Amino acid sequence: MKLSSVQPSNNARRVRATAEHLGIALEIIDQPMAEMKTPPYLALNPNGKVPTLVDGDLTLWESRAIMQ
Ligand SMILES: N[C@@H](CCC(=O)N[C@@H](CS)C(=O)NCC(=O)O)C(=O)O
């Protein structure tokens, strides 16, 4: 599972903390802020924000939805 994140993001941090608590390994992708509103990233997350989880064919955004 890949999680797009930026270092100071509290929304990404809550997802990382949940994954760590559950023992789920995440590959953290350091998402450049300057590329968050560009088409390749907007194709993953139309809100242009982090975090975004990619797990195979599943793409999910909104930290609380990812935590669930
Ligand atoms: N409701 C969203 C909020 C996501 C959010 O606001 N992320 C911030 C970082 S903490 C962000 O990507 N900001 C960049 C921007 O708004 O352009 C969630 O819980 O995932």
Whether residue 11 has its Cβ less than 6 Å from ligand 1? yes
* Tens digit of each residue's pLDDT (9 = 90 or more) over 43-60: 999 999 999 999 999 999
- Write down the mean pLDDT value for the chain: 97
Nearest residue by C-alpha to atom 1 in ligand 1: 62
Mean pLDDT of 31-36: 96
The pTM score is 0.95
Question: Contact, 8 vs 60, CB < 8 A?
Answer: no
Whether residue 45 has its Cβ less than 6 Å from ligand 1? no
Q: Which domains does the chain have, with CATH numbers?
A: 2-67 (3.40.30.10)
Nearest residue by C-alpha to atom 2 in ligand 1: 62
CB within 8 Å of 33: residues ≥ 6 apart? 6
Q: Quick one: three-class SS letters along 24-55?
A: CCCEEEECCHHHCCCHHHHCCCCCCCCCEEEE
Whether residue 68 has its Cβ less than 6 Å from ligand 1? no
